[in-house]
Amino acid sequence: MAAFVDRVTVHVTAGNGSHGVSSVHREKFKPLGGPDGGNGGDGGDVVLEVDPNVHTLLDFHHSPHQKAGNGKQAAGDYKNGGRGEDRVLRVPPGTVVSVGGEVVADLMGAGTRLVLAHGGKGGLGNAALANARRKAPGFALLGEPGESVDAVLELKSIADVGLVGYPSAGKSSLVAAMSAARPKIADYPFTTLVPQLGVVRSGDVTYTMADVPGLIPGASTGKGLGLQFLRHVERCAVLVHVVDMATMEPGRDPESDIVALEHELREYGGDELDLVSRLRIAVLNKIDVPDGRELVDLVRETLEARGLQVFPVSVATHEGLDQLGFALAREVEQYRASMPEVEPVRITLTPRAANDDGFTVEPDPRTGGWLVRGTRPERWIRQTDFNNDEAVGYLADRLNRLGVEEGLAKAGAVPGDAITVGDVTFDWEPTLPAGTLTVEETAGLGGRGTDTRLENNNRLSADERLAAKKARRLPYEVAEDGWIDADLIDGTPER
């Protein structure tokens, strides 16, 4: 099995945030010292990082499932949990990341990082939930689960010069002769099963050369090794067609080989990539074989008429390799000069909106009730411990302040309707305060805005409260003076 993998699907899962802690401070002579539960730690992220020392995606082929560390557990005495360990996946330069069929990143440059899956947020402890009205919360928020993403990693080799041509045309031999690379060389088709890269130095110019596995007619539709390796020519500045001058196959000649190759490049790249315009040089290989040199003279004019530079070479004797190397160096230098100057990568910080109150209320055909969608409501649902009544009440208060209940009322929801938020479905019992809606909007909400305590006004007046206070002091007056004045009870003492 070849030790080169250029396309793989990875299943990554970020770390879960740990739960907050509900705790009460205990100390001698302080039985109720107040809440001191710490916050849970955030889960670790799954990060892709470009490493020039990595040349293949083989590691992810054998281990496609990757997971970051969970957040560390919190404790009482205000001890917050630590953040989970990030899972850093090192990928080679030129890795294209796709999620759901859509390209999300093209990773270039050493050290470039992409957070593929974000870790879950840790839950708040009861110390962080305490306020002036809720001085000692008896609950804490749960940690959120980390994101799970299925991504496709696709490697597109980065090389200045790409060698293309029919199988056994001598591409691997040419790379071995011009660089220190040592690809496998044999006398049968498709010897090269993976792209081979070599570094070539011609004068003062150093460039990389890639040997792409042999292409045959129909490669753009997946025939042979076509689609599997055509992606590796997309980033090449110059494409070189290596022509076999010693082929004995019927119906093949240098011109027909180039016509077939241009057709496959045009079908694969289209007008967007325009790969045919990069095919500028034709290398007529194996001129040392009998009749090979004579065949060069027959096809040179035809190939030059197509706009190609023709270089007859012999890998066995190294004839013509120096001239080819300098020609490739000139083409690479021209390409590099035409490219815009690379600007330093700027780190962009995009803070989240502090008042992102967006949510929608829509009918739910599954339950016949209503479906509430929104980032904040769904996150609050995940953070709530539904086994704790106080936590459920806190959730109801948060949804009310956000305006969810008002939105439900305006949409036409009535008490008892099934309301679904995230993965939780519950029966709606409105808790809106009086006066938030109009009379028409509150008509169907079961007497909202009324309070039976207001119908029976049993509140004492100020004089009555004063008389009751003095009556409570009566036993102390008797104990000190030994007498009692009946008028004291009426609030008008006389001595």
38-49 tens-digit pLDDT: 999 999 999 999
User: What residue numbers does the annotated binding site cover?
Assistant: 165-172, 190-194, 211-214, 285-288, 314-316
What's the CA angle centered on 81, arms 112 and 124, to 5 degrees?
A: 100
Contact 413, 426 (CB under 8 A): no
Which residue would you say has higher pLDDT here, 68 or 210? 68
In tens, the pLDDT along 292-311 reads: 777 777 788 888 888 888 88
Fold equal for 7-155 and 360-454 = no
* pLDDT at res. 249: 63
* Whole-number Cα distances in Å, 428 to 97, 244, 374: 43, 78, 18
Q: Mean pLDDT, the chain, as a whole number?
A: 77
**Residue 68, SS3 per DSSP:** coil
If one compares 235 and 486, the residue with the highest pLDDT of the two is 235
Which CATH number describes the domain made up of 161-338? 3.40.50.300
In this structure, of 36-50, 202-216, 292-306, 379-393, the range with the lowest mean pLDDT score is 202-216
Q: Which amino acid is at 149?
A: V
Q: What is the pLDDT of residues 468-477, one digit of tens each?
A: 888 887 765 5
Helix (H) or strand (E) holding 129: helix 126-129
Dig out the tokens for 393 from the structure: 């009440």
HSE-up of residue 56 (Cα within 13 Å, Cβ side)? 12
Binding residues for GTP: 165-172, 190-194, 211-214, 285-288, 314-316
Instruction: Please answer whether residues 39 and 123 qualify as being in contact, where contact means their C-beta atoms are separated by less than 8 angstroms.
Output: yes
Half-sphere exposure of 139 (CA within 13 A, CB side): 17
421 touches 372 (CB < 8 A) = yes
Q: Which fold has domain 360-454?
A: GMP Synthetase; Chain A, domain 3 (3.30.300)
Percent of the chain with pLDDT over 70: 75
CA angle, residues 338, 340, 341, in degrees to nearest 5: 120
The structure tokens 């992409």 sit at 114
Most confidently predicted of 31-35, 68-72, 206-210: 68-72
* Residue 369, pLDDT above cutoff 70: yes
Over residues 272-287, mean pLDDT = 77
Residue 235 has pLDDT above 70, yes or no: yes
* Top-ranked range on mean pLDDT: pick from 211-215, 280-284, 445-449: 280-284
pLDDT digits (tens, 9 = 90+) for 82-114: 999 999 999 988 888 999 888 888 888 888 889
Q: Which of 1, 5, 49, 55 is nearest to 208 (CA)?
A: 55
Residue 284 pairs in a beta bridge with: 243, 312
CB 239 within 8 A of CB 192: no
Average pLDDT on 365-371 reads 88
Q: Which two tokens stand for residue 120?
A: 């879950």
More confident: 217 or 450: 217
- DSSP letters spanning 215-244: --TTGGGT-TTHHHHHGGGTT-SEEEEEEE
Report pLDDT for 210. 78
Tens digit of each residue's pLDDT (9 = 90 or more) over 155-195: 876 678 888 877 777 777 888 888 765 554 444 344 444 56
Consecutive H or E run containing 324: helix 321-338
Q: Which of 295, 291, 287 is nearest to 321 (CA)?
A: 287
Q: Report the CATH superfamily, name and number, of domain 7-155.
A: GTP1/OBG domain (2.70.210.12)
Q: Name the residue type at position 232.
A: H
Residue range 455-479: average pLDDT?
72
The annotation places the binding site for Mg(2+) at: 172, 192
Report whether 402 contacts 355 (CB < 8 A).
no
Residue 343: its pLDDT value, please?
59
Q: Which of 383-387, 411-415, 440-444 has the lowest average pLDDT?
A: 440-444
Between CA 52 and CA 49 the distance in angstroms is: 10
In whole angstroms, give the CA distance from residue 307 to residue 325: 19
Lowest mean pLDDT among 93-97, 136-140, 195-199, 454-458: 454-458
What pLDDT does 45 receive? Answer: 95
As a whole number of angstroms, the distance between CA 242 and CA 227 comes to 19
Q: Which two tokens stand for residue 294?
A: 């004579």
Residue 482 pLDDT more than 60? no
For the ranges 336-350, 368-382, 390-404, the lowest mean pLDDT is seen at 336-350
Answer with the residue of higher pLDDT: 442 or 467.
467
**Based on C-alpha coordinates, what's the Rg of the chain?**
39
Read off the pLDDT of each residue in 303-327 and give the average, rounded to a whole number: 85
Question: Which residues sit opposite 377 in a β-bridge?
Answer: none
The CA-CA-CA angle for residues 145, 148, 152, to 5°, reads 165
Residue 440 exposed, middle or buried by CB count within 10 Å (0-12, 13-18, 19+): exposed
Q: What is the pLDDT of residue 450?
A: 43
Residue 357: per-residue pLDDT: 60
Backbone phi, then psi, for 487, in 5-degree steps? Answer: -70, -15
pLDDT at site 191: 45
> Distances from the Cα of 24 to the Cαs of 76, 131, 386, 486, in angstroms?
7, 15, 21, 51
Give all strands of the β-sheet with 238-244 in edge-to-edge order. 196-202, 205-211, 161-164, 238-244, 279-285, 309-312
Phi, psi of 444 (to 5 degrees): -100, 15
Q: Strand order of the sheet with strand 113-117?
A: 87-91, 46-50, 113-117
Please tell me whether residue 109 adopts helix, strand or coil conformation.
coil
Residues above pLDDT 90, as percent of the chain: 19
- Kindly list the domain boundaries of the chain, sorted by start residue: 7-155, 161-338, 360-454
- Give the residue with greater pLDDT, 159 vs 356: 159
pLDDT of amino acid 188:
38
- What's the rounded Cα separation, in Å, for the pair 406 and 416? 15
Q: What is the number of other CB atoms lying within 10 angstroms of the CB of residue 114?
A: 18
pLDDT surpassing 70 at residue 336: yes
Comparing 143 with 173, the larger pLDDT belongs to 143
Per-residue pLDDT, 346: 59
pLDDT band at 261 (very low <50, low <70, confident <90, very high): confident
Q: Using CA atoms, how far apart are residues 12 and 147, in angstroms rounded to an integer? A: 8
Most confident of 53-57, 70-74, 232-236: 70-74
Alpha-carbon distance of 91 to 57, in angstroms, equals 7
Judge contact between 121 and 145, C-beta under 8 A. no
Highest-confidence segment of 144-153, 155-164, 261-270, 435-444: 144-153
**pLDDT for residue 478:** 56
Residue 446: pLDDT band with limits 50, 70, 90: very low
